[in-house]
Structure 1
Amino acid sequence: MQHEFEEGIEDVAAAIASGRGIKSDGPYGILIGDETLNYRAAVVRSATVTGAQILAAAGVGNPVEHVAFQVLQGGQLESLRPDESVDLRSAGAERFVIFRSDRIFRILVDDRTLDWGASRITGGTIKRLIGAKAFTHDVWQVLPSGGDHVVGDEDFVDLTAPGVERFVIKPISIRVIVNARPREVHKRVLTYWDVVKLAFPEAVAAPNTVYSITYARGPHRNPEGSMVDGQQVWIKDGMTFYVTVTDKS
């Protein structure tokens, strides 16, 4: 997440990242995100800004229908009232998130309490909130009935139901079949060489050796096909691979 500001504008995020003190005179460059945590650059004049000024910097025309949050160092969000101020010169005060909403929702992620400003949230956004690795971890929603289920990166969870929604982050564990043998993998995307090494752990690239891969029972984006060096595929439980080796020497 890198943004560039014009010369003369103090880049607050860059200053914090480098460990140097933030200048006492503005203007100041900050980052303002939306409910998907996609950030864009904005400029404010004063080192001390209110929630209303953050909304104005984001181009919000009707602040009554919006709420602003400051992003804390651990990824948590802290609501910022329109008349409440924050000093950009304090560590970690470079990012903000705004929502079109009149409510604040509370969720629990690995027993950490997080506030959120929208009525829905995706699995991918939860990962970004707490810094979990997208391709190696899953978000599970903990249901009162005990039927916990995975929340995909693009799946929405409705937060308007009574009670606090609970989630846990777990390492991905997917069972695939390689040359008729089950294998456990811990990421959702496998490269050509990932698959080769599941079949032949000692395999290395060699001029006279060719590995051929075919697969089936994959997810909708790549249900079946073949792979060559440089390609990758998304996987799911029960996906099958068949890997053969040919020696050209």
Structure 2
Amino acid sequence: MEDKFLILTLLTASLGFIIWYMLSTSLLLPVRFQVLYDANPPYVSRIFRRRILGAVIYGLIPLYIIKCTGLLNRPLLSDLNIYFHWNHKVSLWLLGIVPIVLIVNFISTKKSSSLEQFPEVRIRFWRPGIFVWSAIWWILYLVAYEFFYRGLLFQSLRFHLPDALAILACTGMYALTHYFKRNRVSFFSIFYGALACYMVLDTGSIIPGLMLNIITALSIEWLSIRHHPEMYFSKT
């Protein structure tokens, strides 16, 4: 089972990313401070489709193959060393890191260099519908991403490699999926990828990385909207 598990995750990490990249049109979004897309609803849908596609490729498809086909003899997630439990170590990690992340994001999202890129959805008026759906698709995408990289891929590597090498390999493949962005996210993905894998080892759960990734993404989006002089929260 371990060999088939590794093949499945490596194929998903490689071919899955290629498919996502090919189907996600215009991945390199315009780097501009101005808001340009209020009159272009398809632009907003394009951003959301990218997140939905990622959730399907990295979450639903691997989970379906594992649970609904005979490829791996339908193992439980616990058989693959994947857990979502909350324990005191999870709490300690989040209490130690989340405040730092929020402070850093609050400061960094004020900078013009950050506001040129975030939020991804560059519209002037953030109405409740767009605001809520953007958060929902972010969360689903990041849940799938963490489930795959810190769950499936990392654990499949651990079946064949020492923990240190598994962290390096998983971090390298995770960072490659962010290389096309060629900005601070590309660099941060190396540090975050290694840290998230270590948190899995220390806590026995993928919850810390999952929560940290979601909090980081949503706080950057919401703080960027707040700090951008041309963007506004709208009730209607």
TM-score class, shorter-chain normalisation, is under 0.3
User: Which structure carries more helix by proportion?
Assistant: 2
Question: Where is the strand percentage greater, Structure 1 or Structure 2?
Answer: 1
Asked which structure has the greater CA Rg, the reply is 1
**Higher RCO (CA < 8 A, seq sep 6+):** 2
